[in-house]
Amino acid sequence: MALYFSSINSGSNGNCYYIGNEIEAVLIDVGISCKEVEKRMYRLGLDIRKVKAVFISHEHSDHIKGLAVFSKKYNLPVYITPNTLYNSRLVLDSNNTYPFNDLQPVKIGNLSITAFAKHHDAADPYSFTIEHKNTRVGVFTDIGSVCDRLIKHFKNCHAAFLEANYDTEMLNNGSYPYYLKRRITSGKGHLSNTEALNLFVKHKADYMSHLLLSHLSKDNNCPLLVENIFKAAADKTFVKVASRNQESEIYYTSNELFTEEKYSFNPLLHQPAKLNLF
């Protein structure tokens, strides 16, 4: 069965990822403003009423910036660990805020969301896989190093958002102060192009249909460079960089390996509720 997914934004200026089936969806992180999420989903023809919950990976501002306003406006349950909530300093509706645990799936309608702990310099950071009838999409960003947990979940995904944050040479020769370079490469910072590519080449499933390269550094990476590197090793997997400035297209993946079904959107047939965007 199918899952649809889009990067609403991806980068140090804000992260938000949409994954769902034809009936319901979840957002992973809301690191841009509520108004921007609304505008971008509107342009994609995605009905916000399909979003049934928000899952938060960690407390850094580029992952939670718009959460309080968005979740309150749409009365959405927020799944966030107690340590992440405490360190976020956000004020959320306690009656609509829920914890989750490592490797214990959460059911949202027909979707199953599984969190697993990752290496990152945050209080209690997690990555996620979203599953619907044996089709899985992973959201793997803000990862300091590749671990067995990441490998296990990545190799079972039909599609994934995968961090490729920096080119090592660009970072080493760039203008960042030494402490920041150390933080990025510490094993609890971010994945380099080389580390992400190694994971992709060694562990991607033959049935992986899409890879969206995510959370690219504005100063220490080149979208064209990293996209070409991955495309050279992609075989049949579609590779695209998720933009830090705008939403991606809506993509479709399925556990039916050779399905010819394509996602199409006619805005005249799917008008979302009128939004106050300005």
pLDDT value, residue 199: 98
User: Please, which residues bridge with residue 192 across strands?
Assistant: 166
Q: Which of 153-167, 211-225, 244-258 has the lowest average pLDDT? A: 244-258
pLDDT value, residue 270: 46
Residue 277 domain-assigned (yes or no): no
pLDDT value, residue 266: 53
- If you average pLDDT over residues 22-51, what whole number do you get? 97
pLDDT value, residue 277: 40
The number of distinct structural domains making up the chain is: 1
Taking all residues of the chain, what is their mean pLDDT, rounded to a whole number? 93
Cβ neighbours around 13 below 10 Å, total: 14
Residue 149 three-state SS:
helix
- pLDDT at position 68 over 80: yes
Structure tokens at 242: 């998720």
> What gap in Å lies between CA 108 and CA 10, rounded to an integer?
24
pLDDT value, residue 186: 95
Predicted confidence (pLDDT) per residue in 113-168, tens digit: 999 999 999 999 999 999 999 999 999 999 999 999 999 999 999 999 999 999 99
> CB-based contacts of 17: which residues, under 8 Å, 6+ apart?
5, 6, 7, 8, 10, 27, 28, 29, 139, 161
pLDDT value, residue 238: 98
Residue 261 domain-assigned (yes or no): no
Closest to 55 (Cα-Cα) out of 116, 110, 11, 12 = 116
pLDDT value, residue 256: 75
- pLDDT at position 260 over 50: no
pLDDT value, residue 255: 84
Residue type, 47: D
> What gap in Å lies between CA 185 and CA 104, rounded to an integer?
30
DSSP letter assigned to residue 48: G
Residue 51 domain-assigned (yes or no): yes
The CATH number of whichever domain residue 121 belongs to comes to: 3.60.15.10
- pLDDT at position 259 over 50: no
Residue 274 domain-assigned (yes or no): no
| Residue 112 structural domain | 2-252
Residue 268 domain-assigned (yes or no): no
- Which residue stretches of the chain are H helix? 34-44, 61-64, 67-73, 82-88, 148-154, 168-173, 178-184, 193-203, 223-232
Residue type, 197: L
- pLDDT at position 261 over 60: no
Residue 13 domain-assigned (yes or no): yes
**Angle formed by the axes of helices 193-203 and 223-232, nearest 10°:** 20
- pLDDT at position 233 over 80: yes
Question: pTM of the predicted model, to two decimals?
Answer: 0.91
Cβ neighbours around 115 below 10 Å, total: 24
pLDDT-above-70 percentage for the chain: 92
